[in-house]
Amino acid sequence: MAYSIDLTNRTAVVTGAGRGIGQAIAKKLAGAGANIAVIELKEEFTLETVQALTEMGVKAKGYAGDVSNLAEMQALMEQIQSDFGSLDILINNAGITKDTLLIRMGEDEWDAVLRVNLKGAFNCTKAVARIMMKQRFGRIVNMASIVGIIGNAGQANYSASKGGLIALTKTTAKELASRGVTANAIAPGFIKTKMTEVLSDEIKAKMLEMVALKQFGEPEDIANAALFFCSDLASYVTGQVLVVDGGMVM
């Protein structure tokens, strides 16, 4: 018998879903029937995604907010629960880079990246934890990176934030498991988005050499992994890191 993944009547919050990987995840979850709350730095950044989701026939709404602000995230998650009637899935996807060698890296560059990538995920997780524990169901997916596993020259701040995110994922999984809430991480390799577009051709060529499948990933490759973690197929999977990188890290 053929079977399908059904997320009808589930509400998913996707941070940084205005473009790139977050947008692809929002569309993928909507394709399975989920209603989607899009969080972005500015409301105008949410418009394109919300329009696409609405055209797919699900309920979708954009919210302006900065994931690094705990009070803002707590108020937003309550608002989303009230607007949608439930809050079942959280995708901690918002992230930034400020690359430079460690000896040149300023305190501000370190703080900015850790604040968004790591504290942002903590803030959103804390803001949804009570809601999910109470309803005895939840799916949390954190967007890490392979550099959080293997490190990367020029990314002391970013790799530390992603390594920290993997540890946060495992702790969240342990603390919330008894209430039916799972937490998993995805570690993408090189995915074609605006974040990686800015890298030099030289760096891109070097990266491509490391990819066993000899092509860069698409945002949809990551969205497929997110859909798996949010589906019933993964109900016995928690605290895991799924590397989606075409075979860079083995």
Ligand X SMILES: NC(=O)c1ccc[n+]([C@@H]2O[C@H](COP(=O)([O-])OP(=O)(O)OC[C@H]3O[C@@H](n4cnc5c(N)ncnc54)[C@H](O)[C@@H]3O)[C@@H](O)[C@H]2O)c1
Binding positions for ligand X, rule: CB under 6 A: 15-16, 18-22, 39-41, 45, 66-68, 93-96, 116, 120, 143, 145, 188, 190-191, 193-196
CA separation, residue 84 to residues 52, 59, 87, 154 (Å): 18, 8, 7, 41
CB of 136 to ligand X, least distance (A): 28
CB nearer to ligand X: give 1 or 198: 198
Selecting among 3, 63, 158, 236, the annotated active-site residue is 158
Amino acid identity of 184? N
Residue 126 CA to residue 73 CA, distance in Å, equals 9
Concatenated DSSP letters of 184-204? EEEEE-SB-SHHHHTS-HHHH
CB of 76 to ligand X, least distance (A): 10
CB of 221 to ligand X, least distance (A): 10
CB of 146 to ligand X, least distance (A): 7
Residue 140 CA to residue 84 CA, distance in Å, equals 18
Q: Side-chain half-sphere of 217: how many Cα atoms within 13 Å?
A: 27
CB nearer to ligand X: give 54 or 196: 196
CB of 194 to ligand X, least distance (A): 4
The structure tokens listed for 220 are: 């949809």
**Catalytic-residue membership of 63:** no
Residue 159 CA to residue 154 CA, distance in Å, equals 9
Amino acid identity of 211? V
CA separation, residue 69 to residues 41, 63, 75, 95 (Å): 11, 14, 10, 14
CB nearer to ligand X: give 72 or 133: 72
Residues 6+ apart with CB under 8 A from 181: 129, 132, 133, 137, 138, 139, 140
CB nearer to ligand X: give 7 or 146: 146
CB nearer to ligand X: give 3 or 202: 202
Q: Among all residues, which ones are annotated catalytic? A: 158
